[in-house]
Amino acid sequence: MNLQEIKERALNGIGATKEEAEWLISQAPKEELYDAAHEITMKCADGNFDTCSIINARSGRCGEDCKWCAQSVHYKTNINVYPMVSSEECLKLALHNEELGIGRYSIVTSGKSLSDADVEKLCDIIKDLHKNCGLKICASIGLVSKEQLKRLKESGLERLHCNLETAPSIFGKYCTTHTTEQKLATLKAAQELGIEVCTGGIFGMGETPAQRVEFAFALRDTGTKSLPFNILNPIPGTPLEGTNPISDDEILSTVAMIRFVMPSVGIRFAGGRSKRSKELVLKAFYVGVNAAIMGDMLTTAGTDIADEFRFIKEAGYTLEKSVSPYSTKR
């Protein structure tokens, strides 16, 4: 394998092959790999760092058995449990995040899916957000029917998030109550309606480097422009609570490999990075991370937003926020 040749193709928008990606993640010289991924990021990916925040709009009581998740009824994790929040509560946090300079806002609900009544409530929330703020609105609401997605799009939903979570060949090891195929069907339905999609997953659940490559190619095949990169935060009470943490080099090598496979994708730092050093976060921004979920996560504390804005600027990115075209705020 020749790192320079693989890089030159990536700089021209041609992603690495699976064989090349397996070599990159496991055998390529680390610092040379990171520098090459940085070059690809600077040329091919968006230099305007994409920021988003989330609201845990319905928490707990989820019947799914995802082994990493604190919200499953199968595990005792002592999280806050509540039904869908009001439109007023959702707007309050959105306005706070908009004032801080964040560009996107995602409404996240626990559970496998939403009822039609829940979808109607969510439609009203989305309309209210567009009336009163300029944020781009996303949602992470499980498995959604095409008819439900149509109503949400008409209300102003711009992007649907649905993580594949891990390599399809091992997904069943971590969740038995739904499948990768169901997730892919949801993403496809959204794309057919003209809704952007956002899909990624969790790294550090015990998968091998080859399985991380398999996962990267599964994500590439969805056509996503936004790839959330979570680092497993082992939650006490879940089956993965004793999982050994992934190393910094594994994180950076995985980010670099993804950048070689998908030169222009937005690699979005998500959960788990708040427990890592500033040095690791800055290096990941350098290697290929050019987007982030900021603030608190679903059931765990997140990053300090002011600090992270400084990190982003220090890494050389711009922070130009654009207003949602659906916003009617005056």
- The 3-state secondary structure of 89-148 reads HHHHHHHHHHHHCCCEEEEEECCCCCCHHHHHHHHHHHHHHHHHCCCEEEEECCCCCHHH
What is the structure's pLDDT at 178?
A: 96
Decide if 227 contacts 268 (C-beta within 8 A).
yes
What is the structure's pLDDT at 320?
A: 81
* β-bridge mates for residue 267, sequence order: 227, 289
DSSP-derived letter for residue 237 is: T
What is the structure's pLDDT at 23?
A: 98
Q: Give the separation between CA 72 and CA 61, rounded to whole angstroms.
A: 6
What is the structure's pLDDT at 300?
A: 52
What is the structure's pLDDT at 155?
A: 96
Which candidate, 57, 3, 60, 56, places its Cα nearest to that of 28?
3
Q: Give the separation between CA 273 and CA 298, rounded to whole angstroms.
A: 14
pTM for the structure as a whole: 0.93
What is the structure's pLDDT at 14?
A: 97
Q: Give the separation between CA 165 and CA 185, rounded to whole angstroms.
A: 15
What is the structure's pLDDT at 308?
A: 84
What is the structure's pLDDT at 202?
A: 97
What is the structure's pLDDT at 163?
A: 97
How would you classify the pairing of strands 201-203 and 289-293?
Answer: unpaired
What is the structure's pLDDT at 67?
A: 94
pLDDT tens profile 152-175: 999 999 999 999 999 999 999 999
Residues of the chain with pLDDT under 70: 296-303, 330
CATH code of 3-314, in short, is: 3.20.20.70
User: Would the CA dihedral through 19, 283, 139, 207 be positive or negative?
Assistant: positive
pLDDT tens profile 180-219: 999 999 999 999 999 999 999 999 999 999 999 999 999 9
